[in-house]
Structure 1
Amino acid sequence: MSTVDAQMPGVFYRRPSPDADPFIEPGSVVRQGQTLGLIEVMKTFNEVKADRAFRVSRVLLDDGDEVDVGQTMFEVDES
């Protein structure tokens, strides 16, 4: 199992808006370049994109959680 870690500090969001479905859920099969979530930094929203294909095992953050550089956001299975 491997992880997807934050590349910047900020506030994490799992969905594009409060009434929308999350970008991904545990069990989701993700393709390279797919949006996994958003990190807000100084009122700017930055997309977190998959750098490879994988299946999501665990989502470790909820909407509004603060995230630091290097913090694990997702556990993934690449097999």
Structure 2
Amino acid sequence: MPEHVVKSPLPGVFYRRPSPDDPVFVEEGAEVTAEQTIGLVEVMKQFAEVKAGAAGTLSSFAVENESTVGPGDDIATIETS
């Protein structure tokens, strides 16, 4: 099955939820659209949305919530059809 790997757009801290009290943007195993936000990367109090980039099933996250990521690091894998 073809896969799309979502990469970090910039260095920072990856968040799976919009705020600590909110649910995650998307759970593993859920269907996503290409434009769907799957997380945020924060650098110096600025937040950048991380979009899925392809429609399919989000099979796994490569990083944990609140992990440090670098530009181009793998964030998640989406199984496409």
- TM-score normalized by structure 1? 0.91
Q: Determine the structure 1 residue equivalent to 2:71.
A: 69
Instruction: Give SS of 1:75's match.
Output: strand
**What is the Cα-based RMSD across aligned positions, in Å?**
1.1
What's the CA shift string for 1:6-52, capped at 9, x where partnerless?
Answer: 11110000001111111011111111211110000110111111222
Aligned to 1:19: 21
Distance in 1, Cα, partners of 2:65 & 2:28 = 15
The question of whether the paired residues in 2 share the 8 Å contact of 1:25 and 1:59 is answered with no
How many residues of Structure 1 are paired with residues of Structure 2 in the alignment? 79
Match of 1:30 in 2: 32
Unaligned runs of 5+ in 1: none
The structure 1 segments of at least 4 consecutive aligned residues displaced by more than 4 Å after TM superposition are none
